[in-house]
């Protein structure tokens, strides 16, 4: 894919790789591919130095120009792409997700991978996100985040490594952080989500052979079936 490193060639081959991924998914009977999109405007996240609005608009147009041909192949294959809303990507929070979907005309081939760990430290309500984008939740990743702002510890990470107690937040084993899992699972049930629920385990302070089974057990208690009757059914005539 990298070849001689020329950016134009790399982008072309990367796009072809994504198209091949859709074809491979179809061959394997997989209906959803989870991934990232990249972004040509992430460096402007703080909007300082400020840039004209047309620079940001051009960034979303660049995304659409690059991804619409990829999504055409996903459509041909009957496969969907689930973008993980994640810092450094074209959609990294609530409003950038709105704008990203607008940029490609809300085409159905492009949806979202719900991963609440990146919502928590940005201050995004993961439950409201599920409801507002209920027609676009194509995959679910369960990863947890523990917030610990102290006035010294901040959301920016301070260039400190994972697990450093001076960080303002860190990824932890699911069930040990601040993600409202029960409310989230109830919201997923309410929107009719019946796809995979993947445990993404990242905890720099815990052995993974201990943490992964623990995370699975912690989440399974919230993955209960919905009621098949209304609680007030007895009052109906």
Q: pLDDT tens digits for 195-214?
A: 999 999 999 999 999 999 99
Q: Given pLDDT bands bounded at 50, 70 and 90, which one contains residue 231?
A: low
pLDDT tens digit string along 31-64? Answer: 999 999 999 999 999 999 999 999 999 999 999 9
pLDDT for res 217: 96
Instruction: Inform me whether the pLDDT recorded for 128 exceeds 90.
Output: yes
CA 76 and chain centroid, separation: 24
pLDDT (mean) for 121-130: 97
Q: Given pLDDT bands bounded at 50, 70 and 90, which one contains residue 234?
A: low
Distance in angstroms (rounded) separating the CA atoms of residues 224 and 236 = 26
Higher-confidence residue of 225 and 22: namely 22
Instruction: Report percent pLDDT > 90 for the chain.
Output: 90
Q: Where are the domains of the chain?
A: 1-19+32-114, 142-226
For 13, other C-beta atoms within 10 Å of its C-beta total 13
**Residue 224 in 3-state DSSP?**
coil
Instruction: Inform me whether the pLDDT recorded for 188 exceeds 90.
Output: yes
pTM over 0.85: yes
Cβ–Cβ < 8 Å for 192, 158 = no
DSSP sequence for 22-62: HHHHHHHT--EEEE----SSGGGTT--S---HHHHHHHHHH
pLDDT tens digit string along 130-163? Answer: 999 999 999 999 999 999 999 999 999 999 999 9
Q: Given pLDDT bands bounded at 50, 70 and 90, which one contains residue 237?
A: low
pLDDT for res 226: 86
């Amino acid at each position: 894919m990298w070849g001689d490193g020329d950016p134009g060639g790399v982008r072309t081959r990367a796009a072809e790789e994504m198209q091949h991924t859709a074809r491979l998914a179809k061959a394997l009977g997989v209906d959803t591919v989870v991934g990232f999109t990249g972004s040509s405007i992430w460096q402007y996240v703080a909007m300082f130095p400020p840039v004209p609005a047309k620079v940001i608009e051009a960034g979303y147009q660049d995304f659409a120009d690059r991804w619409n041909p990829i999504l055409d192949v996903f459509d041909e294959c009957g496969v969907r792409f689930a973008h993980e809303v994640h810092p450094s990507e074209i959609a990294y929070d609530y409003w950038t997700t709105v704008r990203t979907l607008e940029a490609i005309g809300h085409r159905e081939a492009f949806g979202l991978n719900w991963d609440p760990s990146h919502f928590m430290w940005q201050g995004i309500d993961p439950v409201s996100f599920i409801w507002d984008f209920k027609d676009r939740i194509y995959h679910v990743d369960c990863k947890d985040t523990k917030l610990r702002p102290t006035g010294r510890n901040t959301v920016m990470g301070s260039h400190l490594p994972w697990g450093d107690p001076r960080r303002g937040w860190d990824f932890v084993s699911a069930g040990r952080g601040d993600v409202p899992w029960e409310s989230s699972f109830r919201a997923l049930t309410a929107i009719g989500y019946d796809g995979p629920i993947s445990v993404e385990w990242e905890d720099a302070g815990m052995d993974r052979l201990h943490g992964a089974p623990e995370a699975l057990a912690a989440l399974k208690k919230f993955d209960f079936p919905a009621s098949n009757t209304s609680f007030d059914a007895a009052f109906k005539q």
